[in-house]
Amino acid sequence: MSWMDPAIWYARLPAFHAAAAAWITDPADNVLLVRPTYRDHWTFPGGYVEEGEFPHQACAREIHEELGVAVTVGALLIVDWASPAGHRPRALVNFVFDCGVMTDLGGISLSREEVSDVAFFSAQAAEDRLPRSVAPRVRAAIQARGHSSPAYLADGIPVGSSPRTWG
């Protein structure tokens, strides 16, 4: 391959968006979900990464904006590559971070412009409320937190989940 001007080379690379979400549970391991005002389904709290922002910073910012609380963003639990779909013409890289355990919803102050409701759900009930492409993140996050090892999903499907032996 011959030399190419870096500006041209970078312009030809695929572009994608990034989003960051929080995995928050209660002491009984129920999953915190929010009901956005602009969607017809529940979701993990979080949102898009803005220009100049790291995904973990976006996670903290979004949680503060949506729930009115400050969280400590912990370990990365999931990276889920979502192919272009519907009105979204670009791929979306979803980062899900462990944001710990919340004992109750008493300290939450919802941004009513963005979120109409918040609740804890069992893993199965959370999966039932999430879009089919997002629901697998529930089991993946449970396993990732339990094994202290992040999961990689492609369109919600676990990839490389079993270790390989090289030799």
CATH number at residue 49: 3.90.79.10
Is residue 152 one of the residues assigned to a domain?
A: yes
* pLDDT attached to residue 167: 52
Does residue 167 lie within any of the structural domains? no
Task: Specify the pLDDT at position 2.
Answer: 77
pLDDT per position as a tens digit, 15-28: 899 999 999 999 99
pLDDT tier at 111, thresholds 50, 70, 90? confident
pLDDT band at 71 (very low <50, low <70, confident <90, very high): very high
Query: Does 151 map to a domain?
Result: yes
Q: Within a domain: residue 40?
A: yes
Q: Which band of pLDDT confidence, cut at 50, 70 and 90, is reported for residue 12?
A: confident
In a domain, 8, yes or no: no
Mean pLDDT value across the chain: 92
Alpha-carbon distance of 44 to 20, in angstroms, equals 9
pLDDT at 163: 54
Q: What is the pTM of this model?
A: 0.90
The tally of domains found in the chain comes to 1
Report yes or no on 165 lying in a domain: no
Question: Is 35 inside any structural domain?
Answer: yes
Q: Which domain holds residue 20?
A: 15-157
pLDDT of residue 121: 98
pLDDT (0 to 100) of residue 162: 54
Q: What is the mean pLDDT of residues 22-41?
A: 96
Other C-beta atoms closer than 10 Å to the C-beta of 135 total: 17
- Which tens digits make up the pLDDT trace of 93-110? 999 999 999 999 999 999
On whether residue 1 sits in a domain, the answer given is: no
